[in-house]
Chain A
Amino acid sequence: MTEQKEMDEMETPTSDEEFWDLRLYVAGQTPKSIAAVANLKRLCDEHLSGRYRVEVIDLVKNPQLARGDQILAIPTLVRRLPEPMRKIIGDLSNQERVLVGLDMRPRG
Chain B
Amino acid sequence: MVSASREGIRKAPTGIPGLDEITEGGFPAGRPTLICGSAGCGKTLMAMEFLVRGITDLGEPGVFVTFEELPEELTENVLSLGFDLQDLEKKGLLLIEHIRVERSEIEETGEYDLEGLFIRLGYAIDSIGAKRIVLDTLEVLFGGLSNEAILRSELRRLFRWLKDRGMTAVITGERGEGNLTRHGLEEYISDCVILLDHRVIDQLATRRLRVVKYRGTLHGTNEYPFLIDERGIEVLPITSLGLSHPASSERISSGTAGLDEMLGGRGFYRGSSVLVSGRAGAGKSSLAAQFVDAARRRGERAIYFAFEESQSQVVRNMRSIGLDLQPWLDQGLLQFHAARPTLHGLERHLVTMYKQVRDFAPRVVVIDPITNFLSVGNQEEVKAMLMRLIDFFKAQQITTLFTSLTHGFDLETTDVAVSSLMDTWLLLREIEVNGERNRLLNVIKARGMAHSNQVRELLLTGEGVQLVDVHLGAGGALTGAARQAQEAQERAAALGRQQDIERQRRELERKRQALEARIAAQRLEFQSEEGELESRLEQAEARERRLVDDLADMARIRKAVSGAPESGTGDVR
Pair from one complex: yes
Interface range for A: 35 or more
Shortest C-beta distance, A80 to chain B (Å), equals: 12
Q: Which residues of B contact A73 (CB under 8 A)?
A: 112-117, 145
Complex CA gap A64/B122 in Å reads 10
Asked whether A66 is an interface residue with its Cβ less than 8 Å from the other chain, the reply is yes
**Is A85 in the interface zone, CB < 8 Å from B?**
yes
Tell me, rounded to whole Å, the shortest Cβ–Cβ distance linking A56 to chain B.
14
* B105 & A72 in contact (Cβ 8 Å cutoff): no
A89 near B106 with CB under 8 A, answer yes
Residues on the B chain within 8 Å of A86, using CB: 105, 107
CA A91 to CA B147, docked complex, whole Å:
14
Q: Which residues of A contact B112 (CB under 8 A)?
A: 32, 73-76, 89-91
User: Is the Cβ of A60 less than 8 Å from the Cβ of B119?
Assistant: yes
Q: How far is the CA of A64 from the CA of B119 in the complex (A)?
A: 9
User: Does chain A have a CB within 8 A of B109?
Assistant: yes
Contact assessment for B116 and A76 in the assembled complex, using a CB-CB cutoff below 8 Å: yes
Contact flag A72-B114 (CB < 8 Å), given A63-B122, A64-B123: yes
CB neighbors of A among B316-332 (8 A): none
Q: Is residue A41 within 8 Å, beta carbon to beta carbon, of the partner chain?
A: no
Contact B101 A72 (CB under 8 A): yes
A89–B115 CA distance with the chains assembled, in angstroms: 12
Residues in A whose Cβ lies below 8 Å from that of B102: 87
CA distance A89 to B146 in the complex (A): 11
Are the C-beta atoms of B119 and A88 separated by less than 8 Å?
no
> Majority SS of interface residues in chain A?
mixed
Closest chain-B Cβ to A19's Cβ sits at a distance in Å of 20
Chain B residues contacting A63 (CB-CB under 8 Å) are 119-120, 122-123
Q: Kindly state whether residue B111 has any CB partner on chain A within 8 Å.
A: yes
Cβ B123 vs Cβ A98 within 8 A: no
Shortest beta-carbon distance from B225 to chain A in Å: 38
Contact B116 A71 (CB under 8 A): yes
Within 8 A of A (CB), among B199-214: none
Residue among A63, A66, A89, A98 facing the most chain B CB atoms (10 A cut-off): A89
Q: Does A37 sit at the interface, judged by CB under 8 A? A: no
Q: Give the chain B neighbours of A38 by CB distance below 8 A.
A: none
Whether a CB of chain A sits under 8 angstroms from the CB of B100 is: yes
In the complex, the answer to whether A72 meets B99 with C-beta atoms within 8 Å is yes
Complex Cα spacing A27 to B116, Å: 7
B109 and A94: CB pair below 8 A?
A: yes
Looking across the interface, which residue of chain B has its beta carbon closest to that of A25? B116
**Shortest distance from the beta carbon of A70 to any chain B beta carbon, whole Å:** 5
**A50-85 vs B, Cβ < 8 Å mask (1 yes, 0 no):** 000000000110011011001111111000000001
CB-CB under 8 A from B106, the residues of chain A are 87-89
Residues of B within 8 A of A75 (CB): 112
Chain A residues near B104 (CB-CB < 8 A): 3-4
Most buried by A among B97, B113, B145: B113
Task: From A3, A71, A87, A101, give the contact of B120 (CB < 8 A).
Answer: A71
- Chain A residue numbers with a CB within 8 Å of B111 are 32, 35, 90-91, 93
A88 close to B107 (CB less than 8 A): yes
List the B side residues contacting A22 at CB < 8 Å. Answer: none
* Contacting residues, chain B, for A4 (C-beta < 8 A): 104
In the complex the two chains form, what is the Cα distance from A75 to B122 in whole Å?
18
Q: How far is the CB of A106 from chain B (nearest CB, A)?
A: 14
| A69 → B minimal CB distance (Å) | 9
Q: In the complex the two chains form, is B110's CB within 8 Å of A94's CB?
A: yes
Chain B contacts for A85, CB-based, 8 A: 105
Contact of A89 among B99, B109, B123 (CB under 8 A): B109
Q: Can you list 15 pairs linking A and B with CB atoms under 8 Å apart?
A: A27-B119, A32-B112, A35-B110, A60-B119, A66-B120, A70-B99, A73-B117, A73-B145, A85-B105, A87-B102, A88-B107, A92-B110, A93-B110, A93-B111, A101-B107
The 8 closest A-B pairs by CB, nearest first: A101-B107, A90-B110, A93-B110, A74-B115, A63-B123, A71-B116, A90-B109, A91-B110
Residues of B within 8 A of A (CB): 97, 99-102, 104-117, 119-120, 122-123, 141, 145
**Chain A residues at the B interface, C-beta cutoff of 8 Å:** 3-4, 25, 27, 30, 32, 35-36, 59-60, 63-64, 66-67, 70-76, 85-94, 97-98, 100-101
